[in-house]
Chain A
Amino acid sequence: MMTGAKGMASSSSTYNPPCAACKFLRRKCTAGCIFSGYFPPEEPQKFANVHKIFGASNVAKLLNDLLPHQRDDAVQSLAYEAEARVRDPVYGCVGAISFLQRQVDRLQKELDAANADLIRLAAASSPSVHMPPPPPHQRPAEFGRRFGNDGGGGGRFYQTPGYQITYNASPWADIYNPHGGGFDGNI
């Protein structure tokens, strides 16, 4: 077998194509690339959107501040928000929040009215029986004050969010649940 003076370099057994980020940025995708693994080369639009809205530098800083097991969810949420902002440059995904908040307010009012009717019926049929009031409804603390009930598109976003949204599971199950509605508000 003929070998060159420097010897034949053994090729690596695996070839890792550059990630979509490095392809977009036209740079060498190194082994320690922060984007590799989260922006596969077969999804170029994902990084293109994220780069357009957030910028590669900001995304890299954000990912570096997170623990490794949090980065995948962070990238997915950034990609979702970026796509929403590309589709709707004025409101982005905040439009969806406003829409959902109005739906929640409407449903809450209907539920309160139905419970009030139930109490009235119970009182009418058994005047001596005292019906306890229905349990107080729970609502996200800041959304109602922030978005209001005027039904206007977008609402006002002047207040600082002070809420703590708690959820036990990844939110992706709810986002993609067909019964919960999609981003564009189709319920």
Chain B
Amino acid sequence: MRSTHQEPRSSSSCAACKFLKRRCTPNCQFAPYFRSDEPKKFAKVHKVFGASNVSKILNEVAEEQREDTVNSLVYEAEVRLQDPVYGCIGAIASLQHRMVELQHDLLLARARLACSAAAAAASAAAVGFVVFGSFCSDAGDWRRRRWRRCGGGV
């Protein structure tokens, strides 16, 4: 009599098991992260890291961190395939370079801002002085005219 005990099959294999041509079990470690409709995702990770190494890395991290782990491995694999010599290091170097450029530009812009603000403040103070001086002069003229009308001497 044929044994009826068989390991249940999952309804569809995950991308990893399809790639590795093996049966995808319900507790497949890769299934939650490599869906069957994303075959290239696992192919890239497999090419750069290998299935065994990915499995070991996933076993090292807590379950709630595995999705982020897989996503970062996929990203790293994609970058390495695009740039086999430098991989992510090229991206890091580029970002560091850009950061230094921005820090320099920001320093310059703030220095210019400080100068412009100081110049604007000095200009406003000078205008105020001229206006006040003009007012004093007018006031003096008015007093002199009034003095003369009252019979005062020159």
Residues of A in contact with B (beta carbons under 8 Å apart): 52-55, 57-58, 62, 65-66, 70, 73-74, 76-78, 80-81, 85, 89-97, 100-101, 103-104, 107-108, 110-111, 114-115, 117-118, 121-122, 124-125, 139-140, 143, 154, 156-158, 160-161, 165, 167, 171-172, 174-175, 177, 179-181, 183, 187
Contacts and interface: CB of A to CB of B under 8 A. Distances in A.
Contact of B93 (A91, A139, A171): A171
B102 A108 contact: yes
A122 B85 contact: no
Given A74-B84, A125-B123, A161-B82, A104 B102 contact: yes
Contacts of B79: 161
A125 B120 contact: yes
Interface of B: 47-50, 52-53, 56-57, 60-61, 65, 68-69, 71-76, 78-80, 82-100, 102-103, 105-106, 109-110, 112-113, 116-117, 119-120, 123
Contacts of A57: 50
Contacts of A76: 89
Contacts of A171: 86, 89-90, 92-94
B58 to A, nearest CB: 9
Given A77-B87, A81-B88, A121 B113 contact: yes
Given A92-B76, A107-B103, A174-B93, A62 B84 contact: yes
Given A165-B90, A177-B96, A118 B75 contact: no
Tell me the interface secondary structure of chain A in the complex.
Answer: helix
Contact of B86 (A62, A73, A100, A101): A73
A158 to B, nearest CB: 7
B50 A107 contact: no
Contact of A121 (B48, B69, B117): B117
Contacts of B85: 66, 70, 73-74, 77
A55 B96 contact: no
Given A58-B49, A62-B84, A181-B99, A93 B71 contact: no
